[in-house]
Amino acid sequence: MDIVIFGSGNAAAVLGRKFKAAGHTILQVYSRNAAAATELAYEWNSESTNYKSTINKNADVYIIAVNDEAIGEITDGLKLPGKVIVHTAAAVPKEILKTVSEHYGVFYPLQSLRKEMITLPEIPVFIDGSDEFTKKKLESLAHSIANEKVVHAGDDARMKLHVAAVVVSNFTNHFYTLAEEYCRKEGLDFKLLIPLIEETASRVKNVSVKEVQTGPAFRHDKETIKKHLELLKNHPQLKNIYLLMTESIQQTT
Amino acid sequence: MDIVIFGSGNAAAVLGRKFKAAGHTILQVYSRNAAAATELAYEWNSESTNYKSTINKNADVYIIAVNDEAIGEITDGLKLPGKVIVHTAAAVPKEILKTVSEHYGVFYPLQSLRKEMITLPEIPVFIDGSDEFTKKKLESLAHSIANEKVVHAGDDARMKLHVAAVVVSNFTNHFYTLAEEYCRKEGLDFKLLIPLIEETASRVKNVSVKEVQTGPAFRHDKETIKKHLELLKNHPQLKNIYLLMTESIQQTT
């Protein structure tokens, strides 16, 4: 397919690479950040612009991959009748695009995307469309980069998925951050925790996460919990979280 | 080396396999659970026993890989003069072993170990010994299964590492559990979150976790947070955690 991408950040860059790798053509990259757009356009043998008036009208699909707040600035005054236009946001209703074309929808990649990624990760894609034409088009585009991991999901389901994604990714990364900070302050090498971090995540594929829960909280091991809290007395933020998580684990088991 | 293992649970099984793979001989497996000991002994071409009086006295190293509370039952009445005896517990001082031999120490594997593991994970090992002889022996044994990831750590450092391990593994797994439960209740497919879980963990190797923190809390995106809390109104446990984590992320950034 011929694609125009709005945006030059993490989602735009990684999705664009996925599209290129799947054999699609990126006709144009639009961004307020001219330098970033030029760089991506060069990588994709494409064109770049930072003027909405010069948007190429010949693409099949237009993808707005920008921050939630910036979607409105892109759609403002944009008219692409007969074309399929989507955004990539979890938390924005698809109707924000209905002034642009009758064929509007969402193309939500459920993954943590970073421009600097060397290996492109697997990206499940959740799609939604205003009509059958849009849905079919997006389904085909999504399958080309996500194989079997393509799911139809409306605004409500997408928002719920986003909550789950925040929990397993943003919150988890915050634990890594707190643990790194704790190790630094205590003179321990955080890097030695990496095999454990990887094992904990990778086993999710093969086991029931509920059944592999372990640890002092799970075992109601009051002695160890007491010792841990004593060690955390100079780390109030982590101590607070330790208490809540211990309580929550014991509530679940 | 010639090794005797006390225990037949997760740590005993996985460490034993690592020792076998590194070319060591497991002379004997002791466990109150005779069936489990027999099974491991069969796997390792070893012997099993559930009588302390029949412990083989010819090994170089004796490894107690049982629950913290059960260590005392093993050491009670056990005498192995001249031999190296260790336990594998993070939260138990090494002095618990001093009645067994003058050469006592700790061999703490910083990893989540499960008997059912098909692929043996990388296991950093933290060692401690009562004297140079013990330390050298354990260093050599640890290097044979953990390559470069061998660190000397006393009781205090080991306990602190355990706190960090609980945070990045037990607490993280609890998030996975809560997210799975949430998905089940909301009719979403938890399995579609697996690529995100894996990416979040695997990038720890390459990036500063603090610098890749994203999400509504990090962005102070009040609109999205409000929508998420609304979606969590029937999930009080997760909502409570969502609030605390959001607050903690905002406190850090």
In degrees and rounded to multiples of 5, residue A85 shows phi and psi of -120, 135
Tell me what pLDDT residue B48 has. 97
Burial of B148 per CB tally in 10 Å (0-12, 13-18, 19+): exposed
- B87 alpha-carbon distance from chain centroid: 13
Complete DSSP assignment for B124-191: -EEEEESSHHHHHHHHHHHHHHHTT-EEE--HHHHHHHHHHHIIIIIIHHHHHHHHHHHHHHHT--GG
Considering only CA atoms, which of A180, A86, A153 is closest in space to residue B205?
Answer: A180
From chain A, the residues in CB contact with B216 under 8 A are 91, 166, 170
The type of residue at A193 is L
* pLDDT 10s digits, B23-47: 999 999 999 999 999 999 999 999 9
Which residues from B are below 8 Å from A188, CB to CB?
157, 160-161, 164
Average pLDDT over residues A188-194: 96
Q: Which residues contact A220 (CB under 8 A, 6 or more apart)?
A: A250
Please give the pLDDT value at position A147.
86
Each residue's pLDDT tens digit, B46-90: 999 999 999 999 999 999 999 999 999 999 999 999 999 999 999
Q: How far apart are CA B168 and CA B172, in angstroms?
A: 6
Percent of chain A past pLDDT 70, that is, above it, reads: 100
Radius of gyration of chain B (CA): 22
A44: which 2 tokens? 């994709």
CA–CA separation, A55 and A5 (whole Å): 10
Question: Of the candidates A61, A17, A64, A26, which has an alpha carbon nearest to the alpha carbon of residue A46?
Answer: A26
* CA–CA dist B13, B116 (Å, integer): 9
- CA–CA separation, B181 and B173 (whole Å): 12
Averaged pLDDT of chain A? 96
Residue A127's DSSP bridge partners are A107, A152
A170 to B218: CB separation less than 8 angstroms, yes or no: yes
Pairs of CB atoms within 8 A across A/B: 285
- A148 pLDDT tier (thresholds 50, 70, 90): confident
Judging contacts by C-beta atoms under 8 Å, the chain A residues touching residue B215 are 166, 169-170
Query: Under an 8 A CB cutoff, do B168 and A157 touch?
Result: no
In chain A, which residues have their Cβ closer than 8 Å to the Cβ of B223? Answer: 91
CB atoms within 10 A of CB B138: 25
ipTM of the complex: 0.95
pLDDT at residue A253 is higher than 80: no
Mutate to test the interface with B, among A115, A182, A245, A246 (most CBs of B within 10 A): A245
Cα separation, B163 vs B193, whole angstroms: 27
Rounded distance between C-alpha atoms, residue A149 and residue A142, angstroms: 8
Contacts of residue B9, Cβ cutoff 8 Å, sequence gap at least 6: B36, B65, B66, B67, B115
Of B149, B174, B216, which is closest to A248 when you measure between CB atoms?
B174
Residues of B in contact with A211 (CB under 8 A): none
Tens of pLDDT, residues A50-102: 999 999 999 999 999 999 999 999 999 999 999 999 999 999 999 999 999 99
Q: How many other CB atoms are found less than 10 A from the CB of residue A244?
A: 17
Note the pLDDT of residue B147. Answer: 86
Beta bridge partners of A29: A5, A48
Q: Which of A236, A111, A245 is nearest to A170 (CA)?
A: A111
- Mean pLDDT computed over every residue of chain B: 96
Share of chain A above pLDDT 90, in %: 97
**For position B175, what pLDDT does the model report?**
97
Each residue of B111-146: pLDDT tens digit?
999 999 988 999 999 999 999 999 999 999 999 999
**Residue to substitute from B115, B145, B199, interface A, most A β-carbons within 10 A:** B199
